[in-house]
Structures are given as C-alpha cells and as structure tokens.
Amino acid sequence: MSARTSESGFPIQPVYGPEDVAPDLGDRLGEPGNYPYTRGPYPTMYTARPWTMRQYAGFGTATESNRRYHQLLEAGTMGLSVAFDLPTQMGYDSDAAIAHGEVGKVGVAIDSLADMRTLFDGIPLDKVSTSMTINAPASLLLLLYQLVAEEQGVPSSALTGTIQNDILKEYIARGTYIFPPAPSLRLVSDTFAYCRNEIPKWNTISISGYHMAEAGATPAQEIAFTLANGIEYVRAAIDSGLDVDEFAPRLSFFFVARTTLLEEIAKFRAARRIWARVMREEFGATNPKSQMLRFHTQTAGVQLTAQQPEVNLVRVAVQGLGAVLGGTQSLHTNGYDEAIALPTEKAARLALRTQQVLAYETDVTATVDPFAGSYLMEALTDEMEAATQRLIDQVFEFGSSVRAIESGFQKSQIETTAYATAQEIDSGERVVVGVNRFTVDTEEPYEPLRVDPSIEAAQRERLARLRAERDDAEVTAALAAVRAAAEGTENVLYPAKRALAALATVGEVCDTLREVWGSYRPPESF
C-alpha cells in the first residue's frame, strides 16, 4: 500500500502503530484544560455544554438583516455573526462614489449609529454574543455596538463577542485594508487597551486563517501564517506598553474546516500546542488564559460547488464534524447554496440544524478529545506541528510578519498552492464530486436570494437625512479631536466614540484617519 499525501504535503500512512508516536506523548498531550492544551482549552469541553452555534448573516439594509437575526435566534442559534458590505469594510459611506454598485451586496451596509440601532433593534445585547467580521474599521463598528448597548441600558461590562480586527491577513489574502501596516497595528493596540478598560469581556481580535485558506493556503500554511500574525500583534501590544497578561486572554482565532477531516483535527490540535508554547516561552505569559488558543471555525466556502448544490449539505456536515472533533469554541456552518448566492432563509436554517444534529443526536459531545492517543492522530498532529513551525521560522527570517508580508512571502506561497490545486482539479487528479466526476447532464432549477438594487438609493437617502438633522458643528469638532489623536499618541477610540455618538459616519471618521495616516498601496508585483 502506498501513502497518500496530506493537503499540507506530508505523507499519510495506510496504517499507524506505536512506533509512529513520539515517546514523550504524555507531555505533548497534557490534560484537557491544561498546558499545552493539545486536548482543548477547557477541562470538560462539550460534555458540559456544546460550542456556540454562531450563524454568519448580513445583507442589504439593517432592517433586512435584523429580520434574519431574529429568525436565527428563534431557530436556536446561540450567537450572531455580522457580515458587512464592502463599502463598510473599506471605510466608505454608502453615498461615496467608490461604493456605487456594492451597497448591501455581500453584507449589511452600516454607515452610522442610526444603522447600528436598526441592525440590533429588539435584540438584547446583554444576552447575545455577537461576532463582527470587520477589520480595518473594526474599532469603529465596535464603538457603534457599544453605543447601541448604552442606549439599551446595557453596561459595557456585560457585552460579549468578537471583532475580527485582523488587518495583517488583509495584506496577505483578502484586500480590505485602509491604512499602511504601522498605523493599522497602532489601531489594533489601541483597541486592546480600550477594551481592557471599557469592554473587558470582549474578544478584541480574531486572528484569521480562514481567508488565507479560502485563497488556497494548505492547513499548515493557514495556521503558520495566522500564528505568525498573532505573534506580531502580541509584539505590537507589548511595544505599546501593555502587559501580555492584560490583553492576551482576549485574543481569539478564526480557522476554516475542510472536508479532509483527519488533517483538520490534527491542525487544530497542533495550533493550540504551538500557541501555548509561544506565549509561555517567548512572551512569558503566566496567566493560563493567555496561553490558550480559543478559536471560531467556519466551514469551507471555497469547497462548496454551484453544481449539484445539495451535495454541499454533506460537505458542510463533514466539515462541521471536523471542527467539533478538533475542539472549536464556536462554529458557523455554511448554507448549501452559498456557491450560487447569499443563502436563503431555508438554507441558513438547514445549516444551523446541521450543528444541532452534531450536538444533540451524535455522541461526539460525550467525551473530551475523542481522538486522543490514536496512533494516527498523534502522528498527524506531530507532523502538522513540525510543518507549521518550519513555515513560522521562514516568516521570521524576514525579521517580522509585516516584513514578510511586504516581501510578498505569504502571498506567493498561498498563490503557488492555489495554482497547484486548480491544476489537480482540472486534470481530475483531485476529485470534486459533481464537478469533475459524478456529474449530471441537467441541474434542477434554483431560485437564489437576490439583493434589491434599490437598497443603495434608500441608503443614500437615509444618509442625506442624517446629515441634514445632526449638529454639524458638533461633528466637525469631534472629527477634529479624532485627527488630533491620530497625529499624536492618544488612544484614538475615545474621540472616535464621541464622533460616532455625534452622528459622524464611519466613512467620515475613516477619511479623517486617511488624511493623517494615508492609505496602503500594495506593491504592483513581488
């Protein structure tokens, strides 16, 4: 029998035995909830309660997205996850010329406090955990969320959730950046400090490998480049004067779950072990919560197919199972129709039901780390750890993750892998069911969810009313305070909150920061 090669490039043997497992297995495993956290960050994991079932949603107007959130909560979801449209992600208002044609298309348009009020209307923010997939202007969306909570009478100390706030991966794989790396890292550090003082239960960053995986990264590349970015954030925060144990407990991560079930489980276990070691040995973190790698998982959108979309139900179930067996803290399962359009209400409900079947109809929640001690799994975890560490070392040969990014290292590595994968699919070497094998001649008709094109005009009208009714002198003074903070060393979030409370828009605050910090322009080629 010949060995298959994993997605990360190391061999998977047909049979494993005791000779394939490291002799110091006990030390490398530890106990659940204890260093090095290979077996999970908490002693009881899902035996006490299941992971947070968090469904990612947002499209069109705040009103439409609010309606979907209420539907998800009624269906039993335990946490909300907000998708923002591209103009919001890039720090532009809906009436900006550059936003034309993109308003409300891939997420919800949020221009001001008025939109955020509508988005969370009737949703008690002291009882719901909210994740916001936003990066360059992440701090501003968090401040809007805090302002809405204050209007509800909810103290900031009661708010729980996560902002993605991971700007470095935007330079590598996604592109929704605004400012150059140095001020972007300052904004991340300011957010750490602000939340430490003002929103102590909030996860201040979700360091993301998901988008790198969607761009073509292997599992080893995904966690290596993600952990390298995490190290960069920790260094930046320490350099800004924060103590590691003041902010590290609120760091979180975001990974993909692919259909290669066994390798994905090994990936999650290896990532926990590497991060624990780095935080304890490199940064001297003594708080156990600083050493824990806690993460959210989303099933692999890139593996969904427009052909025979119902087959995606099977893919998503397998991917979700891998995330659970790997010890995720929260999970989003994709709708089966997402390769075609935004998921319909039925598809979103089915995606949530998939998680509920895993949690309540299987026995995977009956015990902690079911694969622990498996010859196969322990050998795969060691292989993944070694491959990942080699890549991390290569990143820091450049001096820092930022310098590696500026040199194009991570991007070129991912692009090379993506190209090789595409060639394998085209040649049939890599089987994709319904695409290059097991195809059908005709597809059943499918009616996708469509975003109303009139949304952009309606959003422009709302902005015009807001600007006509607000106190312009108050807004101008507040934006001047934002500018002064950006030019100096004051934490930018405090004057930004005052500006947003005065009904300055997200775009106006971002434009003020652009004028001081400039905009990032990537090299034309590497």
User: Using one digit for the tens of pLDDT, what is the confidence trace for 67-105?
Assistant: 989 998 998 887 888 999 999 999 999 999 999 999 998
Q: How many CB atoms lie within 10 A of CB 259?
A: 20
Question: What pLDDT does residue 442 have?
Answer: 84
Helix/strand/coil for 302: helix
In which region does residue 444 sit, left (phi positive, over 0), alpha (psi from -120 to 50) or beta (all else)?
beta
Count other C-beta atoms under 10 Å from residue 487's C-beta: 11
Give the pLDDT of residue 525.
46
CA torsion through residues 272, 278, 283, 287, sign: positive
CATH of span 26-427:
3.20.20.240
**3-class DSSP assignment, residue 178:** coil
For residue 409, what pLDDT is reported? Answer: 96
Burial class (CB in 10 A: 0-12, 13-18, 19+), 427: exposed
For the chain, domain boundaries? 26-427
Check residue 185 and give its pLDDT. 96
Q: Using one digit for the tens of pLDDT, what is the confidence trace for 347-361?
A: 989 999 999 999 999
Rounded Cα distance between 487 and 350, Å, is 49
Phi/psi for 224 (5° steps) reads: -65, -50
Contacts (Cβ under 8 Å, ≥6 apart) of 447 = none
Mean pLDDT by 10 residues, the chain (526 residues): 84 94 88 97 96 84 92 87 95 97 93 98 95 96 98 97 96 94 96 96 96 97 98 96 95 97 98 98 98 97 96 98 97 94 88 97 97 96 97 98 95 96 96 95 78 88 97 98 98 98 98 97 66
> Are 196 and 237 contacting, i.e. CB atoms less than 8 angstroms apart?
no
Q: How far apart are CA 389 and CA 402, in angstroms?
A: 18
